[in-house]
A and B are shown apart, each in its own frame.
Chain A
Amino acid sequence: MKDLSVHFAGVSKKYPHFALENINLELPTGSIMGFIGANGAGKSTTIRILMGLVHQDQGAVHVLGHAMPAEQVAAKLDIGFVSEDMRLYKSATIAWHMEFIRSIYPRWDQSYAESLLQRFDLKPQQKVKGLSHGQRVKAALLLALARRPRLLVLDEPTTGLDPVARHEVLGELMAVLADEERTILFSSHNTQDVEQISDQITFIDRGRIIDSDDKEIFLDRWRRLRLVLPPEATLPRLPGIVQVSGSDRLPVLTTNSFESAMVSACHDMGATVQAVDSMTLEEIFVASVQGGRERQTV
């Protein structure tokens, strides 16, 4: 049996204009999951349910072995949480925040916190109101990391950062993550950010999980096949075709279940395979979302 840090089983939550429907999610201990969705897809709602901040209407949520939201106090002792809409107290210094968090978390690591201060180029006596957005994100990350959490939940931490600050934050985060093994859930609508640090990928759209897999398997099984069809030939029927674009003569098939046998199957049906293109995570995400939405409307 897998050791899971996060387990969602059939979780639903209804709002007047949005619903999270039948979310099933597994995050194995020690892995880093990129949780990707467009704005309003349900990432933050899912994460709030994970944190016990929002109660699900249906389904079971277990985080680090604790049933949520009932056992959220025990679970949150082992979680470091940073979200895009989280702010620190403007009138207080970073040092005050560090002391406040230290007084709550028994595993707070002061020497690690001090090394992060240096690495993030933060000054402890600086008040939060004088920090740039990038520095505020780094300060929040420091507070989350130095409590030595078993699970790190990052809800769009790079949103709103300028490219330089985003690069810095991600670079520092990757350097920090390289230090040791952690379980991380990293949500973003920016696939590049997620691709850099994740080993598992989950896509969410319109309140539903549309795909979830290991990153390498994800990148391996998605391909774009550029075909040339002879006149009056029909498009070969292949498994896992998510999208068909291009023209009748020069179709482009996007598949989420690529196997090399597909190429010979195309040849057998009279089609010429001009190219088999790998796809970036962003292309996969867009194709997944569009394919999912098309299936919903059919």
Chain B
Amino acid sequence: MNFSMVKRLILKDWYLQRWLILGSLPAGAITLGIIALGGNAGFFLGILLLVTVIIAVGGQLAVATMVSERKEQTLAFVISLPISYREYTAAKILGNLLIFLVPWITLVLGSFALLMFPPALHLGLIPFVAIMAAEILTSTCLIFAVALLSESQGWTVGAIIVGNLALNGFGYFVGHIPSIANGMWSAPLNWSPAASFLLLGEFTTIALLLGLTFFFQSRKKDFL
């Protein structure tokens, strides 16, 4: 694996997506402000907006860096460079993951900060928020996998819809797990084994999704 070439391709995508990265941070900061200062209604509206911002960033990244590469015919330019399909795939997976982690980590840490410090002080919500944040990361990795494997806008939009629906269903499911739901609205943090199990499952799913994508993509015989 030519890591120097992988790095160059990652930096290329970072440069081309710089406005998306930079734009997502103030948008996320505004939603965190609404959560902090908007009272009860603002809290729920802010959460909704925050989730929307993060999902939108993931979807836009997948379309802009993977689907559009073929649609806008820049793929021929990139793959004529001295790279193999494995290196191209590695660069796409790593690059998109790293780009997405910038707003994701920033906004997740911002959310934790809001829950941990006055005036909100909802420590009991931390396990739920952590699980849902990991779920958003998992959905985004699913979108990346579908976009990279299919290079199709239709399939990618389908994956965004499925990821969004799964997020709602998963949120409902997690919110009704007794060991998580019982302490959710209380001040002290109550981290249950169920929360650890769910988080472990989510990160395992992410590793599997990205690993399998790399495996199948590397075996492709035709670039174009």
Per the 8 Å Cβ criterion, residues 58-80 of B in contact with A are 72-74, 76-77, 79-80
- Asked whether A55 lies within 8 Å of B222 as measured between CB atoms, the reply is yes
Main secondary structure of the interface of B (DSSP, over half): loop
Partner pick for A87 among B15, B77, B224, CB 8 A cutoff: B77
Decide if A100 touches B12 in the complex (CB within 8 Å): yes
With A73-B2, A73-B84, A76-B80: A87-B74 Cβ-Cβ less than 8 Å:
yes
Q: How far is the CA of A92 from the CA of B12 in the complex (A)?
A: 10
B53 to chain A, nearest CB (A): 22
**Interface membership of B197, Cβ < 8 A:** no
**Which of A79, A91, A96 lies at the interface centre, i.e. has the most chain B CB atoms within 10 A of its CB?**
A91
> In the bound complex, do residue B80 and residue A89 qualify as a contact, i.e. CB atoms below 8 Å apart?
no
- Consensus secondary structure, chain A interface: mixed
Asked if A1 is an interface residue, CB under 8 A from chain B, the answer is no
- Report how far A76 CA is from B78 CA in the complex, Å: 11
* Residue among A51, A89, A91, A140 with most chain B CB within 10 A: A89
A-B pairs under 8 A by CB, number: 63
Interface residues of A in 135-193 (CB under 8 A from B): 140
**Does A202 touch B at the CB level, under 8 Å?**
no
Q: Are A54 and B224 in contact (CB under 8 A)?
A: yes
Tell whether, in the assembled complex, residue A85 and residue B73 are in contact, meaning their CB atoms are under 8 Å apart: yes
- Chain B, interface residues (CB within 8 Å), range: 20 to 34
CB neighbours of A79 from chain B (8 A): 80
Q: Given the known A-B contacts A48-B224, A76-B82, A96-B15, are A104 and B73 also in contact in the complex, defined by CB atoms under 8 Å?
A: no
Beyond A53-B222, A53-B223, A91-B16, is A85–B76 a contact (Cβ under 8 Å)? yes
Does the CB pair A90–B82 fall under 8 Å?
A: no
Contact B82 A74 (CB under 8 A): yes
The contact of B76 among A76, A77, A87, A92, by CB within 8 Å, is: A87
By a CB distance below 8 angstroms, the chain B residues around A85 are 73, 76
Q: Which residues of A contact B (CB under 8 A)?
A: 48, 51, 53-55, 72-74, 76-77, 79, 81, 83, 85-92, 96, 100, 103-104, 140
For the complex of A and B, list the 4 residue pairs with the smallest distance between their C-beta atoms, beginning with the closest. Answer: A55-B221, A81-B80, A86-B76, A53-B223
Question: B-side interface residues toward A, CB under 8 Å?
Answer: 2, 5, 8, 12, 15-16, 72-74, 76-77, 79-84, 87, 221-224
Besides the contacts A53-B223, A73-B87, A92-B16, what 5 more A-B pairs have beta carbons closer than 8 Å?
Answer: A54-B223, A55-B222, A72-B84, A73-B84, A87-B73
